[in-house]
């Protein structure tokens, strides 16, 4: 049964990913003199697991992330169109262009360029997780974020 659920999720994730790539391709074809800045705003992060608004098993959950239009590199690596992941757990977003706080509870820097993270010992109830990309200096990038709400039993 667990295998069935995994397969279903995988297929849905692939479908979502294909749709996003298609949407980006369509948008990219609309303007021939599109600036790099505009292209940059279509890039961003997607939470591919877990599915939103569903009750998870237990108090731990693995958040899996994918990006469009950027490379995921370790913090401190200065490279065009790149950044690293951050997770905001029940915490409001840092504005675009501002440094993402380093030692605030509820903000996780994934400075090792990882693309998944297990959140442990979540309290019972609803939790909002926002995925956010930051640059080599942990400044929030002007790209799409993604939010998922999970329910811990």
Residues found near Cu ion in the complex (CB under 5 A): 109, 134, 138
Q: Are 135 and 109 in contact (CB under 8 A)?
A: no
Neighbouring C-beta atoms of residue 65, cutoff 10 Å: 21
Phi/psi at 106 (5° precision): 95, -5
The least distance separating Cu ion from the CB of residue 70, rounded to whole angstroms, comes to 14
Nearer to Cu ion, 33 or 103 (CB): 103
Nearer to Cu ion, 132 or 144 (CB): 132
Closest CA to 84 of 107, 112, 56: 112
Nearer to Cu ion, 47 or 152 (CB): 47
The least distance separating Cu ion from the CB of residue 71, rounded to whole angstroms, comes to 15
The least distance separating Cu ion from the CB of residue 152, rounded to whole angstroms, comes to 25
The least distance separating Cu ion from the CB of residue 132, rounded to whole angstroms, comes to 9
DSSP-derived letter for residue 24 is H
Could you tell me the two tokens for 130? 């926002």
Nearer to Cu ion, 44 or 134 (CB): 134
Say if strands 82-89 and 71-72 run parallel, antiparallel, or are unpaired. Answer: parallel
């Amino acid at each position: 049964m667990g295998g069935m659920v995994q397969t279903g999720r995988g297929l849905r994730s692939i479908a979502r990913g294909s749709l996003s790539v298609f949407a980006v391709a369509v948008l990219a074809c609309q303007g021939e003199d599109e600036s790099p800045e505009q292209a940059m705003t279509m890039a961003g992060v997607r939470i591919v697991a877990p599915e939103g608004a569903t009750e998870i098993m237990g108090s731990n959950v693995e958040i899996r992330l994918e990006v469009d239009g950027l490379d995921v590199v370790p913090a401190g690596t200065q490279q065009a169109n790149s950044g690293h992941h951050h997770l905001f757990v029940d915490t409001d977003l840092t504005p675009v262009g501002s440094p993402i706080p380093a030692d605030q509870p509820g903000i996780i820097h994934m400075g090792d360029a990882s693309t998944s993270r297990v959140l442990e010992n979540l309290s019972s109830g609803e939790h909002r997780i926002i995925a956010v990309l930051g640059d080599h200096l942990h400044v929030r990038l002007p790209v799409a974020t993604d939010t998922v709400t999970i329910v811990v039993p």
